[in-house]
Amino acid sequence: MHQGLSRQGRLRRRPEFLKVQRRGVKTKGRYLTLFTLPNGLDTSRLGIIATRKLGGAVQRNRAKRVMRELFRLDRGWLGFDVVALLRPGFSEKSYRLIAEDYQVALERQNRSYRYKL
């Protein structure tokens, strides 16, 4: 059984990424930076930015798989586009540390949206 993100669950084009980065709420974590923007859909979509600062292709692909899994498991953010900018050090850390950092960043994002509304 395939449990990955569907094509509809991902941001795929550069203009979509740029829109979220420019208009969305930005929250920095230790290993990642999250940008979120309401999308008006019934589902959330994820875009991942993994630059060469993370390492070679193997490290970048592993980091993207980990990030997609974190997003897939945490479905509390329905109706948002999320862009995750993976920061140097992300690929060397354990899954547990990255998951904790992701949760802290999401909680801070949630507070930001409560204050905006």
Say which CATH topology domain 7-116 has: Ribosomal Protein S5; domain 2 (3.30.230)
pLDDT band for 110, please (50, 70, 90 cuts): confident
Q: Dig out the tokens for 96 from the structure.
A: 């547990």
Q: In 3-state terms, what secondary structure has residue 36?
A: strand
Q: Per residue in 13-36, pLDDT tens?
A: 999 999 999 999 999 989 999 999
pLDDT band for 84, please (50, 70, 90 cuts): very high
State the distance between the two ends of the chain, measured CA to CA, in whole angstroms: 39
User: In the chain, where are the structural domains located?
Assistant: 7-116
**What mean pLDDT do residues 86-100 have?**
91
**Cβ(11)–Cβ(81) below 8 Å:** yes
pTM: 0.85
**What mean pLDDT do residues 58-70 have?**
92
